[in-house]
Chains A and B, each alone.
Chain A
Amino acid sequence: MDRVKTSTLSGAEIVVRCLQEEAVEYVFGYPGGAVLFIYDELFKQDKVKHVLVRHEQGAVHAADGYSRSSKKVGVALVTSGPGVTNAVTGIATAYMDSIPLVVITGQVPTHAIGLDAFQECDTVGITRPIVKHNMLVKDVKDLATAMKKAFHIATTGRPGPVVVDIPKDVTAAVCEFQYPESITMRSYNPVRKGHAGQIKKAAQLLLEAERPMVYSGGGVILSNSSQQLRDLVKLTGFPCTNTLMGLGAYPATDKQFLGMLGMHGTYEANMAMQHCDVLLAIGARFDDRVIGNPAHFAQNPRKIIHIDIDPSSISKRVKVDVPIVGNIPDVLDDLLKLLRGTPVADSKAWWKQIEEWRAKDCLKYDRSSKIIKPQFVLEKLYEITKGEAFVTSDVGQHQMWAAQFYKFNEPRRWINSGGLGTMGFGLPAAMGVQLANPGATVACVTGESSIQMCLQELSTCKQYRLPIKIVNLNNKYMGMVRQWQQFFHGNRYSESYMDALPDFVKVTEGYGHRGVKIEKPADVEPALREAFANKKELVFLDFITDQTENVYPMIPGGKGITEMILSEEL
C-alpha cells in the first residue's frame, strides 16, 4: 500500500480530506449529534459541497440519482440512530440496483456502544444484509484506509453501497493522515477478463443461431458498455431487448430494439425471449419480474450465454449453458473480435416472426378518450423533451408507462428503483440527477401516492434552485395496487384509494415553486411545453388521469413469460 502526504489531523478532518482526495463533488446529508465534528470540518472548506436534504432517505436517494446519472460514486452523510434507520430504505434501494454509494454514518462514542446510548443503533448489524460491505471504524488510525476501502469496494466489481460507521470520539481523535493511493485486498479481487474458451464457445453459438436474441440489463449501464452492446447488435443484426434497469443501453428508436421485456414488457420482446434458440444475456439476472416462472421459461429449449461480473447471478434462477464471468466491456470487446468478419446465420424467418408479433401493437391505448390517458402524457413528454431528458420515476403504473413510452436512446437517462421498487425514490433521485447534470432537463415521473412519500424534498429543491419538472399522473389510486386488485382480487379495492389528497398546486406553491393542474387532454401538450420552457423553476404538473387505466401487457405473478394479458383481451 503506497502512502503519501503526511500530516496530523482529527478523524473529522480525515473524513473530509478523504472525500476531497476522492474528488467528491457533493455530499448529501443531514446533521446530528454524532456527526457534528464532521459537519464542522465541512463548514471550514469549500471543495466538497454539502446538500442539505429534509429526510435521510432523501439524502441516500439523491446520492443514488447523482451516481446513476453521472458514472460517479454517490456520497451520503447521516447521523447515528434515526439518521441511519431513515437511510436504510435508500441504502437497500441502491443495493438492489448495484449502485456505488459511500454512506458515512455517525455512531455514538466507542465507550458508549452497546449501552443503549441516546441515538444508538447497531448500524453495521442493521445494514449488513443491504450493503456490499460495511465497517465500524473504532480507531482513528484505521479511518483513512477504511474510507479508501469503501470507495474501492463500492466502485469495483459489481458495484454497491458501502457503509462506514464512525463513532463520534473517533472523529475527534487525531492521528497522522496518510491517504493510501491504492489498496489491495487478498479477499477481494474482482475479475476483469472473461474466460477465452467460454467466449469462443459463445461466439460459435451466436454465429450459428437461427433465432438469436440479445437480452441486456442494468449491468451494461453500470459498466458503461452501451457502445459495445450497440456494436454487437448492429454487427450481427440480432434483435435486442432491455430490462427495466437496462433501458437506454440500446437505442429504443432503433428497428432492432424490441422494447422492454418482462412483466410489463412488449409482446414481441417476451415472445422472442421464449422462442429464441440462442439467448445472449448481458448484465441481467433473469429475475422474477423479467422471465416470470422459470419452469415455464425452461419449456422451450435454447442455449443461454450469460455474461456477468457476479458469478452468483449466473445460474441462479435459470440454468445457463455458457457462463462468462467478467467485466462486460472487456468480455464484449473479446467477443466482438471473434464475431467480426464472420457472417452470422440467416435469420430472415426469425425476423418475419418477430414482425408478426410486433404487429400486435401491444402498447396501443384509447387515443380518443375525453379523460387524460397517462400513456398520452408520457408520449407528449417524450416528444417535447425530444427524448433527451433525464427521467426519474417512482414506483407503480407511472413507472411502467414511462419505461414503455419514453424512448431512451442513451444510457443513464432512465433513473428508477427497479429491484427494491421504492416509492418515494423519484423526487430525491431527481435532485441528485440535476446536481450532477446542471442545465440538463430533468423530469420526475410520479404518481400522487409515490410523490407523497418524499414530498418534503420540495424544500431541498427550493434551497438549491433545482428546476426539476414533476410529472404527476394523478389517478387518486395506488394505480398498480388497484390494477392487481381488479385482476386478482375481485375488484375489491382495499385501501388503494386515497381520500383527502392535498391540492398539489397549493402544496408546491407553499414550497415556493410553481404548480399547474391539468384536467383535459387538450391541455397536456401546452402545459408540458410551458413547464419545460421554464429553465429556472421547479414546476409540478398535476395531471388528472383516467382512474381505470391499466398497464398492458401484463404477466400475472408466477405465470410464464408468454402468458400475457393484453389490452384487447379485456
Chain B
Amino acid sequence: MRHLISILVENEAGALSRISGLFSARGYNIESLTVAPTEDASMSRMTIVTSGSDDVVEQITKQLNKLIDVVKVVDLSEAEHIERELMLIKVRAGQKEREDMKRMADIFRGRIIDVTDNTYTIELTGDGRKLDAFIQALDQGTIIETVRTGTSGIGRGNRVLRV
C-alpha cells in the first residue's frame, strides 16, 4: 500500500541523510521525498511517499520517530488529505504541434511559462496521477525533458501537523 508520510524535522545539517539513511539501512522504499523549511526556519517539513505492508509502515513511522532530530511524524494517508506535485515539462512545439500543445496544456490547467520557436515549457500542478496522465496524453516523441518535485501533502480540514 502506498503511504504519504509527513515529517517535521529540526533544520540541522545532516537531518536529511539521517532520514534517507534510515530508509536504505532498513530496506524501506522511497518513491519520492520532498523537503523544505517551514515558516519556522528552524524546522523543515518533509513528505515521503513510500509503500509497504501495514506492519512495515508502522515500523517506518516508529523508526522515524526514534531519530533524535525528528520532531513529529504523521501518516497522512491514514485520513483525508491533499497531495500536490509540481512538474516542469519541456515539449516540442514547432509550427505543427504548437496549437495542439497549447490546447493540451489548457485541458490539464497547465501554464506555459517559457517559449522558444520550437519548444514550450509547461508548468503543471496536481497529484501524481494527474501529472502521469498528462505525460501519457502527450505524443511521447514530443517530450524533451521533465522534472518533478515529488509529492507534498497536507491534512484536510482541521487536521494539522505542527509543534
Give the B-binding residues of A (Cβ under 8 A): 124-125, 128-129, 132-133, 136, 153, 185-188, 310-312, 315-316
Given contacts A186-B71, A188-B68, A310-B66, whether A136 and B13 have CB atoms under 8 Å apart is yes
Task: Tell me, rounded to whole Å, the shortest Cβ–Cβ distance linking B5 to chain A.
Answer: 15
What residues of chain B lie closer than 8 Å to A315, measured between beta carbons? Answer: 55, 58
Give the A-binding residues of B (Cβ under 8 A): 9-10, 13-14, 17-18, 21, 25, 55, 58-59, 62-63, 65-66, 68-71, 163
A128 lies within 8 A of B62 (CB): no
What residues of chain B lie closer than 8 Å to A129, measured between beta carbons? Answer: 21, 25
Task: Tell me, rounded to whole Å, the shortest Cβ–Cβ distance linking A534 to chain B.
Answer: 46
Known pairs A187-B70, A312-B63; list 20 more (Cβ under 8 Å): A124-B14, A125-B17, A128-B14, A128-B17, A128-B18, A128-B21, A129-B25, A132-B68, A133-B68, A136-B13, A136-B14, A153-B68, A185-B68, A187-B10, A187-B71, A188-B68, A311-B62, A311-B66, A312-B65, A316-B59
The complex places the Cα of A310 from the Cα of B18 at a distance, in Å, of 18
Task: Tell me, rounded to whole Å, the shortest Cβ–Cβ distance linking A145 to chain B.
Answer: 13
10 contacts between A and B (CB under 8 A): A125-B17, A129-B25, A133-B68, A136-B13, A186-B163, A187-B9, A187-B71, A188-B68, A311-B65, A312-B59
Chain A, Cβ-Cβ closest to B66: A312
What residues of chain B lie closer than 8 Å to A133, measured between beta carbons? Answer: 68
What residues of chain A lie closer than 8 Å to B66, measured between beta carbons? Answer: 310-312
What residues of chain A lie closer than 8 Å to B58, measured between beta carbons? Answer: 315
Chain B, Cβ-Cβ closest to A133: B68
Interface-centre pick from B14, B68, B70 (highest chain A CB count, 10 A): B68
Task: Tell me, rounded to whole Å, the shortest Cβ–Cβ distance linking B61 to chain A.
Answer: 9
The complex places the Cα of A187 from the Cα of B70 at a distance, in Å, of 6
The complex places the Cα of A296 from the Cα of B110 at a distance, in Å, of 55
The complex places the Cα of A133 from the Cα of B68 at a distance, in Å, of 7
The complex places the Cα of A310 from the Cα of B9 at a distance, in Å, of 19
Chain B, Cβ-Cβ closest to A134: B14
Task: Tell me, rounded to whole Å, the shortest Cβ–Cβ distance linking B54 to chain A.
Answer: 10
What residues of chain B lie closer than 8 Å to A187, measured between beta carbons? Answer: 9-10, 68-71
Chain A, Cβ-Cβ closest to B60: A312
What residues of chain A lie closer than 8 Å to B10, measured between beta carbons? Answer: 187
The complex places the Cα of A310 from the Cα of B71 at a distance, in Å, of 16
The complex places the Cα of A311 from the Cα of B55 at a distance, in Å, of 13
What residues of chain A lie closer than 8 Å to B25, measured between beta carbons? Answer: 129
A312 lies within 8 A of B71 (CB): no
What residues of chain B lie closer than 8 Å to A136, measured between beta carbons? Answer: 13-14
The complex places the Cα of A188 from the Cα of B163 at a distance, in Å, of 12
The complex places the Cα of A323 from the Cα of B52 at a distance, in Å, of 22
The complex places the Cα of A196 from the Cα of B139 at a distance, in Å, of 62
The complex places the Cα of A128 from the Cα of B18 at a distance, in Å, of 7
Chain A, Cβ-Cβ closest to B68: A133
